[in-house]
């Protein structure tokens, strides 16, 4: 019998992503996606992160807190295989797993009292963080490693294929416009869903509701509205 070792969060991750749709499928794909690792009070003392500023990147061990309970399926449909071919759950990075544990490699921007500022995040706002570990290039960067169907980075659209009309771009804060361009360069729609030029997609990011549609090889933003705080 396997001993039970319950996990307890050490921090909460604050990110621009209010919902799962629009979140990059891997960390580092959207460098402008910045987040804050906010340590819980019992882990906020400076001694917990003493020396961490010596590292440029850190691993975040996180929990998929928005996931439905695992349904017991042994296989998943990775987006990299078009969303139709199945592989074993342990041969994938799918969030649909027996234990909803995630792993993100992010750039460390700053170590502040009780907070880490990071970039290249791929998590929903409010994600629990179970551990933080420094990234060690000498043993964790393996240029000879093989990954077959997931070896190459996902294709991204060229900057000229992302069209934000001037009137919408003028309304967006610069950092939000930069993040939107990085996200829209990725294929955000489900892999099994055929591209539909007539369909309007939407996502909530960095306090803005963005809507876009596909026009051939171009992504066209059709609306951007700030989300009311309700205050």
Percent of the chain with pLDDT over 70: 93
Q: How far apart are CA 44 and CA 38, in angstroms?
A: 8
Give yes or no for residue 91 having a pLDDT over 60.
yes
Query: What pTM was computed for the model?
Result: 0.87
pLDDT band at 167 (very low <50, low <70, confident <90, very high): very high
* SS3 state of residue 54: helix
The architecture that CATH gives domain 11-140 is Beta Barrel (2.40)
13 in Cβ contact with 121 (< 8 Å)? yes
Q: How far apart are CA 134 and CA 199, in angstroms?
A: 42
C-alpha dist (Å) from residue 61 to 127, 192, 229: 10, 28, 30
Q: Tokens for 113?
A: 């009292």
The burial class, CB within 10 Å (0-12 / 13-18 / 19+), for 137 is: exposed
Break the chain into its structural domains and give their ranges.
Answer: 11-140, 159-226
Give yes or no for residue 4 having a pLDDT over 80.
no
The dihedrals phi and psi of 150, each to the nearest 5 degrees, come to -115, 25
């Amino acid at each position: 019998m396997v001993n039970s070792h319950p996990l307890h969060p050490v921090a909460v991750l604050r990110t621009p992503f209010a919902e799962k749709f629009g979140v990059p499928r891997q960390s580092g794909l959207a460098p402008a996606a910045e987040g804050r690792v906010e340590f819980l009070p019992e882990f906020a003392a400076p001694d917990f992160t003493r020396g961490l500023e010596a590292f440029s990147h850190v691993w975040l061990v996180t929990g998929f807190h928005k996931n439905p309970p695992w349904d017991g399926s042994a296989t998943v449909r990775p987006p990299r295989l078009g969303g139709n071919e199945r592989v074993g759950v342990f041969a994938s990075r799918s969030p649909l797993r027996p234990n909803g544990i995630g792993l993100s490699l992010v750039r460390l921007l700053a170590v502040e009292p009780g907070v880490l500022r990071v970039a290249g995040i791929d998590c929903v706002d409010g994600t629990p963080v179970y551990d933080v570990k420094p990234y060690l290039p000498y043993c964790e960067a393996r240029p000879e490693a093989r990954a077959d169907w997931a070896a190459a980075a996902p294709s991204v659209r060229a900057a000229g294929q992302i069209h934000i009309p001037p009137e919408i771009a003028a309304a967006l804060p610069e950092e939000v416009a930069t993040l939107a361009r990085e996200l829209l360069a990725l294929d955000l729609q489900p892999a099994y869903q055929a591209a539909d030029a007539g369909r309007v997609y939407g996502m909530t990011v960095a306090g803005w509701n963005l809507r876009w549609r596909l026009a051939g090889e171009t992504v066209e933003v059709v609306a951007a509205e700030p989300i009311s705080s309700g205050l």
